[in-house]
């Protein structure tokens, strides 16, 4: 980027006074300009390159110099042009291309057997040589898949009442990936608005076959059936598998009883408790509970009605002595139905699924008024109206118009950055305070003069995220990559030596 | 007497137990008629297994079934020839089923399943020697380690209804990657990347090896077939091999051969008249929600391709629905690609075939999914309601439900077909696209309602009843 451009960019930001922005028509493509600055000054290109090289960018003779160049990137441009199968030879090329194209979204695909940009040429040769050979094991958890168990929001919206569902999903999956499967290099990322992504980057994970990926995904799956069949969760057998048992006792049960039950008011209306009664198989228990709850609807106990009813249900199910195990399992099934992580299986099962890169800015659709901190107190009806306005904004051709109508500052409407989440402290993560593009640019703007900091991002709230990415994920990862390259090189040498001796 | 020798190169005949691993082709003289007969006998076994699996039979039932099928078909009057018949038939079918991706996709799991059931009938000693042959020389978990994880092992055993491990039980500690199916079913305790496999579960370990060896071998055989064998044997083996081939897979529905294309404006009528329940359901859900998840998009999308919906129409069709939910832009960006992909226009250039009943029945739809086979995946009341909506009622519904209870899902579908069309369906339903074409054929002969060029469709005759 030339100096003038940088200056120009800064000028623009200077006008970023909120009131002015509301009053003035917003210049066409302002989004792209903001993104340009973001990619120019804040986006951690070098870190992404380092990560995607997995140590192969070094001088060691065991490095595979073609490695990074066989990775697929794909760009979604502002005018909805979708560029797939982009590949780059090095850090410089990657950064240049991102700056030039200024993609609203960057996706990362697998490492292929050959340079994906040249796949056509290889395809001509007939042999099926263009095929994915490595790919992080990835998971995608999306809050929209929880619509039947949350009453606070629906669709792509999240709030402090339902976001914890994501938090416990991280806990359950992260613990299992480390303790059960023995993976170490795991990156969790806020997906921009409505969920989380997980990248498992150990060498062993990257080389898993589709079948093995499928096996891991199935290991995590307790949802059988759907609205067409009966059960949501089926836990058969006389005991829970150790993984499920641990998830239940260490995470799910407490979360359900202490958080979800009261915050979602799971038993507060007939419609809601009927949904839970549906999961109980014993008719007599069902009708007994139903009877109780229909009567004492106006009870004035101080205790939370949800807690009371849940206790009643538990007592009845646990005391069903002669009916035994099956009923007790019912309690677990209810808890699992409401809390257990819901993974998008397809994403994890196939090597060639694309996933949005960390540190992307959630694209235009992220004009989300709901996530601004100050808006949180608004009653939901207002939120709906705002949401509606913004829906207009994204489908309508006059993308600018509703901005003028909207009642809040411009700083809330630009996309959220997909920042890493520390699984050890995931309960502290608050999707409503994730840096937004405009907030970052404002910070940059304000701190601009002070300078003397090595990186621009250090002046912004993105700094924390990038530092976390480096120290907690990238550095340990690269260290183990180097060791792996070193040791596999040694074995190779050993082999060739042996064969010479013979 | 004319004789054919499979592959000349190999000399070793590495059969140790009665269960061969088929590592290298035998140096055996085979009479040409045995070549075919043995292969057909083995095909009967594999086909039986395939049917059993698509009925959703349980493992124990499958084991018994495989045993019976083997007894019925793979005997030989001369005891000494039994093993040879086994080996020869396997290698002949390798040749037959190596030649396309679809053929391999059918053959590989069936042979692996067969191997698995047979392995389980071997003695512990024979099993151990087979493991050694596969280089699966895992050390058994030591006593002290066993004690330290015993609780977990018991917990797993109880969770899958296996008998509890005794003090002298043998467990192997293997990388979890090597037992994907045990991992998938949560049938093992996994700790720090290692799965604790009980000696009764080693079949899974061995089957995984068997499968991966066979998979590679099929690719190699295919290369040899195209590069030399086909030409060398063009007067002798090649015709036999080609004739033996598709019989069990049924016709290839990936291209709507002999059909005229269907057009968008007819589609609603066609859904009502000629779609099997699985596709009807997907279609209705799509209309209702303007969305389907991946599994549903694949199942319905490939089916529509198979019945002759052209690419452009397909895109228009999906777009009309999806854009109501996600907007046209997002549709173009995120979904159009995969539709083109299904038609083989983008990305990998393979052409995807529509799913067979077997594949659909064995799928595992989850929350929010609508794919799968309603006869298998619907609850009873939902299935009854769906049948009523199709105009099936009274006695017919009970007959269908009866088949469902016995897990004869394709037969249930066949009965539905017969009830809806008021006409018999002798071949049974094996493929949703066959359901469609058979339906059209009947409707056309009744009142010319079907698509006109329908009669031209060439049926591949089934070799076996
Ligand atoms: S039997 Fe086949 S055609 Fe019939 S509903 Fe099931 S999958 Fe569809
Ligand atoms: Zn919410």
Q: What tokens were used for A157?
A: 């919206």
Residues 36-65 of A with CB under 8 A from B: none
Query: In this structure, are A135 and A37 located in the same domain?
Result: yes
Give the residue among B279, B270, B331 at the shortest CA–CA distance from B303.
B279
Longest dimension (CA), chain A: 89
Instruction: Indicate whether B300 pLDDT > 90.
Output: yes
Residue A319 lies in a domain: yes
Query: In this structure, are A217 and A321 located in the same domain?
Result: no
Q: How many CA atoms lie within 13 A of A99 on its CB side?
A: 18
Q: What tokens were used for A270?
A: 């007939």
Which residue did the predictor score with more confidence, A501 or A201? A201
Average pLDDT over residues A294-319: 81
Q: How many CA atoms lie within 13 A of B300 on its CB side?
A: 28
Q: Can you tell me the distance from the alpha carbon of B327 to that of B163, in angstroms, rounded to the nearest whole number?
A: 54
Q: Can you tell me the distance from the alpha carbon of B460 to that of B246, in angstroms, rounded to the nearest whole number?
A: 8
Query: In this structure, are A249 and A348 located in the same domain?
Result: no
Which residue did the predictor score with more confidence, A330 or B458? A330
Query: At CA A204, angle to CA A201 and CA A206, rounded to 5?
Result: 50
Beta strands A137-142 and B194-198, pairing class? unpaired
pLDDT at A20: 35
* Domain assignments of chain B as residue spans, ordered by start: 32-131+208-247, 135-205, 266-446
Beta strands A71-76 and B30-31, pairing class? unpaired
pLDDT tens digits, A10-42: 333 332 333 333 333 333 334 678 889 999 999
Give the residue among A115, A97, A86, A103 at the shortest CA–CA distance from A31.
A103
The three-state secondary structure class of A384 is helix
Give chain B's length. 465
Q: Which of A211, A228, A365 sits opposite B180 (nearest CB)?
A: A211
Query: In this structure, are A308 and A219 located in the same domain?
Result: no
CB within 6 Å of ligand 1 — which residues?
B 276-278, 357, 360-361, 373-375, 409-410, 413, 429, 432, 435
Query: In this structure, are A46 and A133 located in the same domain?
Result: yes
Residues whose Cβ atom is located within 5 A of ion ligand 2: A 152-153, 159, 161-162
pLDDT at A97: 96
pTM of the predicted model, to two decimals? 0.72
Average pLDDT over residues A424-447: 87
Residue A397 lies in a domain: no
Q: Give the range with max mean pLDDT: A87-91, A120-124, B266-270, B326-330.
A: A87-91
Q: Which domain holds residue A75?
A: 25-223+343-388+410-501
Count of domains forming chain A: 2
Tell me the nearest-neighbour CA distance from B248 into chain A, angstroms: 25
Q: Can you tell me the distance from the alpha carbon of A111 to that of A133, in angstroms, rounded to the nearest whole number?
A: 6
Residue A403 lies in a domain: no
Q: What tokens were used for A220?
A: 């995590």
Q: Which of B180, B281, B377 sits opposite A215 (nearest CB)?
A: B180
Q: Can you tell me the distance from the alpha carbon of B448 to that of B451, in angstroms, rounded to the nearest whole number?
A: 8
Q: What is the ipTM of this complex?
A: 0.82
pLDDT tens digits, B112-158: 999 999 998 888 888 888 888 888 777 789 989 999 999 999 999 99
Query: In this structure, are A347 and A335 located in the same domain?
Result: no
| Domain B32-131+208-247: assigned CATH number | 1.20.930.80
Query: In this structure, are A192 and A176 located in the same domain?
Result: yes
Q: What tokens were used for B32?
A: 């040409």
For residue B372, give the ligand nearest its CA: 1
Q: Can you tell me the distance from the alpha carbon of A432 to that of A428, in angstroms, rounded to the nearest whole number?
A: 11
Binding residues of B, as ranges, are 278, 357, 373, 413
In chain B, the percentage of residues whose pLDDT exceeds 90 is: 32
In chain A, the percentage of residues whose pLDDT exceeds 90 is: 49
Which residue did the predictor score with more confidence, A7 or A293? A293
Question: What values do phi and psi take at B310, rounded to 5?
Answer: -70, 160
Give the residue among B307, B275, B304, B286 at the shortest CA–CA distance from B413.
B275
Average pLDDT over residues B174-196: 95
Cβ separation of A225 and B365 shorter than 8 Å? yes
pLDDT at A123: 66
Residues 137-166 of B with CB under 8 A from A: 152, 155-156, 158-161
pLDDT at A468: 96
pLDDT tens digits, A60-69: 999 999 999 9
Instruction: Indicate whether B17 pLDDT > 80.
Output: no
A223-249 per-residue burial string, b: 16 or more CB within 10 A, e: under 16: bbbbebbbbbbebebebbbbbbebbbe
Instruction: Report which protein residue has its CA nearest ligand 1's atom 6.
Output: B373
Query: In this structure, are A83 and A63 located in the same domain?
Result: yes
Task: Give A245's pLDDT tier (boundaries 50, 70, 90).
Answer: very high
Average pLDDT over residues A208-212: 93
Give distance in angstroms: CA of B317 to centre of ligand 2. Answer: 34
Instruction: Indicate whether A392 pLDDT > 50.
Output: no
Instruction: Indicate whether B102 pLDDT > 90.
Output: no
Q: Give the range with max mean pLDDT: B30-44, B245-259, B340-354.
A: B30-44
Residues of A classed as catalytic: 72, 140, 142
Average pLDDT over residues B442-463: 48
Which residue did the predictor score with more confidence, B124 or A183? A183
pLDDT at B354: 85
Average pLDDT over residues A482-502: 81
User: Residue B234 CA to chain centroid, in angstroms?
Assistant: 30
Q: Can you tell me the distance from the alpha carbon of A375 to that of A143, in angstroms, rounded to the nearest whole number?
A: 20
Beta strands A105-112 and A71-76, pairing class? antiparallel
Instruction: Report which protein residue has its CA nearest ligand 1's atom 3.
Output: B432
Instruction: Indicate whether A86 pLDDT > 50.
Output: yes
Query: In this structure, are A243 and A133 located in the same domain?
Result: no
Among A319, A339, A359, residue at a domain's last position: A339
Give distance in angstroms: CA of A148 to centre of ligand 2. Answer: 12
Q: Can you tell me the distance from the alpha carbon of B281 to that of B371, in angstroms, rounded to the nearest whole number?
A: 8
Instruction: Indicate whether B187 pLDDT > 90.
Output: yes
Residue A10 lies in a domain: no
> Is B238 buried (19+), middle (13-18) or exposed (0-12) by CB count in 10 A?
middle
Task: Give B464's pLDDT tier (boundaries 50, 70, 90).
Answer: very low
How many A×B Cβ pairs under 8 Å? 116
Average pLDDT over residues B77-101: 87
Instruction: Indicate whether A495 pLDDT > 70.
Output: yes
Average pLDDT over residues A185-201: 93
Q: Can you tell me the distance from the alpha carbon of B106 to that of A34, in angstroms, rounded to the nearest whole number?
A: 53
Instruction: Return all residues near B234 (Cβ < 8 A) that are at least 6 apart.
Output: none
Q: Can you tell me the distance from the alpha carbon of A111 to that of A360, in angstroms, rounded to the nearest whole number?
A: 20
pLDDT at B133: 84
Q: Worst-scoring range by mean pLDDT, A421-430, B111-120, B254-263?
A: B254-263
pLDDT at B120: 87
β-partners of residue B109 are none
pLDDT at A389: 39
| Residue A428, number of CB atoms within 10 A of its CB | 9
Using alpha carbons, list the distances in angstroms from residue A40 to A77, A98, A278, A455, A456. 16, 9, 55, 12, 10
pLDDT tens digits, B387-443: 999 989 889 999 999 989 888 888 899 999 999 998 888 778 888 998 998 898 888
pLDDT at B365: 85
Question: Tokens 């901005």 — which residue?
Answer: A403
Task: Give A44's pLDDT tier (boundaries 50, 70, 90).
Answer: very high
Which residue did the predictor score with more confidence, A263 or A397? A263
Query: In this structure, are A57 and A175 located in the same domain?
Result: yes
Q: Can you tell me the distance from the alpha carbon of A443 to that of A456, in angstroms, rounded to the nearest whole number?
A: 10
Instruction: Indicate whether A162 pLDDT > 80.
Output: yes
Query: At CA A500, angle to CA A494 and CA A501, rounded to 5?
Result: 90
Instruction: Return all residues near B200 (Cβ < 8 A) that are at least 6 apart.
Output: B162
Please check whether residue A359 is in contact with residue A418, taking contact to mean a CB–CB distance below 8 angstroms: yes
């Amino acid at each position: 980027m030339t100096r003038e451009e940088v200056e120009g960019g800064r000028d623009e930001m200077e006008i970023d006074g909120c009131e002015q922005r509301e009053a003035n028509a917003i210049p066409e493509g302002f989004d792209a300009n903001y993104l340009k600055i973001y990619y120019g000054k804040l986006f951690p290109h070098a870190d992404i390159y380092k990560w995607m090289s997995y140590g192969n960018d070094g001088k060691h003779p065991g490095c595979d110099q073609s490695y990074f160049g066989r990775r697929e990137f794909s760009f979604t441009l502002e005018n909805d042009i979708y560029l797939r199968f982009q590949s780059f030879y090095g850090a410089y090329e990657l950064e240049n291309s991102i700056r030039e194209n200024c993609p609203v979204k960057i996706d990362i695909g697998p490492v292929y057997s050959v340079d994906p940009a040249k796949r056509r040429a290889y395809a001509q040769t007939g042999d099926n040589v263009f095929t994915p050979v490595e790919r992080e094991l990835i998971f995608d958890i999306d809050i929209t898949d929880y619509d039947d168990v949350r009453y606070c929001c629906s669709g792509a919206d999240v709030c402090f009442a339902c976001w914890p569902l994501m938090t416990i999903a991280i806990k359950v999956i992260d613990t299992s990936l480390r303790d059960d499967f023995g993976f170490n290099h795991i990156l969790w990322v806020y997906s921009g608005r409505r969920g989380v992504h997980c990248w498992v980057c150990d060498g062993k994970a990257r080389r898993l076959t589709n079948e093995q990926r499928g096996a891991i995904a199935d290991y995590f799956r307790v949802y059988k059936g759907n609205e067409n069949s009966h059960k949501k969760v089926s836990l058969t057998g006389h005991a829970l598998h150790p993984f499920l048992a641990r998830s239940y006792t260490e995470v799910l049960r407490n979360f359900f009883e202490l958080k979800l039950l009261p915050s979602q008011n799971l038993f507060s209306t007939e419609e809601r408790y009927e949904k839970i009664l549906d999961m109980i198989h014993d008719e007599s228990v069902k009708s007994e509970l139903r009877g109780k709850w229909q009567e004492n609807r106006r009870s004035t106990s101080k205790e939370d009605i949800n807690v009371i009813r849940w206790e009643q249900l538990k007592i009845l199910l646990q005391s069903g002595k002669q009916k035994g195990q099956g009923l007790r399992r019912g309690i677990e099934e209810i808890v699992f139905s409401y809390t257990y992580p819901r993974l998008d299986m397809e994403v994890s099962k196939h090597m060639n699924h694309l996933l949005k890169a960390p540190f992307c800015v959630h694209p235009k659709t992220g004009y989300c008024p709901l996530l601004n901190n100050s808006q949180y107190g608004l009653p939901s009806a207002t939120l709906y109206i705002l949401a509606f306005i913004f829906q207009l904004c994204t489908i309508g051709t006059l993308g600018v118009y509703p901005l003028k109508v909207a009642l809040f500052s411009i700083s809330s409407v630009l996309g959220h950055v997909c920042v890493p989440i520390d699984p050890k402290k995931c309960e502290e993560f608050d999707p409503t305070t994730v840096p937004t593009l405009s907030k970052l640019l404002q910070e940059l703007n304000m701190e601009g003069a002070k300078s003397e900091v090595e990186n621009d991002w250090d002046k912004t709230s993105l700094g924390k995220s990038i530092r976390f990415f480096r120290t907690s994920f990238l550095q340990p990862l690269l260290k183990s990559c180097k060791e792996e390259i070193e040791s596999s090189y040694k074995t190779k040498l050993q082999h060739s030596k042996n064969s010479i001796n013979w | 007497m004319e004789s054919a020798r499979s592959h000349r190169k190999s000399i070793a005949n590495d059969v140790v137990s009665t269960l061969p691993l088929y590592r290298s082709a035998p140096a055996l003289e085979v009479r040409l008629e045995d070549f075919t007969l043995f292969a057909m006998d083995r095909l009967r076994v594999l086909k039986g297994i395939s049917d059993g699996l698509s009925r959703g039979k349980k493992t124990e039932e499958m084991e018994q079934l495989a045993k019976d099928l083997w007894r019925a078909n793979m005997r030989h009057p001369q005891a000494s020839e039994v093993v040879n018949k086994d080996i020869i038939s396997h290698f002949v079918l390798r040749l037959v089923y190596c030649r396309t991706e679809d053929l391999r996709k059918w053959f590989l799991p069936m042979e692996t399943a067969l191997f698995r059931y047979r392995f389980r009938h071997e003695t512990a000693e024979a099993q151990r020697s087979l493991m050694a042959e596969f280089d699966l020389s895992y050390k058994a978990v030591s006593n002290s380690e066993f004690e330290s994880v015993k609780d977990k092992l018991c917990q797993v055993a109880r969770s899958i209804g296996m008998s509890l491990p005794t003090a002298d039980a043998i467990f192997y500690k293997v990388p979890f990657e090597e037992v994907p199916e045990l991992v998938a079913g949560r049938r093992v305790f996994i700790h720090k990347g290692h799965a604790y496999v009980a000696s009764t579960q080693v079949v899974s370990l061995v089957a995984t090896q068997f499968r991966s060896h066979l998979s590679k071998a099929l690719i190699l055989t295919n290369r040899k077939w195209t590069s030399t064998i086909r030409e060398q044997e063009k007067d002798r083996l090649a015709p036999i091999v080609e004739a033996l081939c598709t019989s069990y897979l049924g016709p290839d529905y990936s291209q709507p051969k002999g059909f005229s294309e269907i057009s968008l404006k007819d589609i609603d009528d066609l859904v009502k008249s000629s779609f099997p329940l699985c596709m009807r359901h997907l279609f209705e859900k799509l209309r209702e929600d303007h969305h389907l998840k991946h599994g549903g998009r694949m199942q319905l999308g490939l089916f529509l391709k198979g019945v002759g919906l052209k690419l452009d129409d397909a895109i228009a069709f999906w777009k009309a629905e999806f854009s109501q939910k996600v907007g046209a832009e997002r549709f173009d960006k995120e979904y159009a690609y995969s539709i083109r992909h299904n038609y083989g226009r983008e990305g990998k250039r393979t052409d995807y075939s529509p799913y067979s009943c077997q594949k659909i029945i064995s799928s595992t739809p989850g929350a929010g999914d609508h794919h799968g086979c309603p006869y298998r995946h619907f609850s009873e009341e939902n299935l009854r309601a769906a049948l009523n909506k199709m105009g099936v009622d009274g006695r017919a519904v009970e007959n269908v439900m009866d088949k469902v209870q016995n897990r004869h899902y394709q037969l249930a579908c066949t009965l539905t077909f017969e009830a809806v069309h008021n006409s018999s369906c002798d071949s049974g339903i094996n493929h949703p696209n066959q359901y469609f074409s058979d339906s059209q054929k009947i409707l056309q002969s009744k009142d010319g309602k079907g698509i006109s060029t329908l009669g031209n469709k060439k049926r591949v005759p089934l070799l076996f009843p």
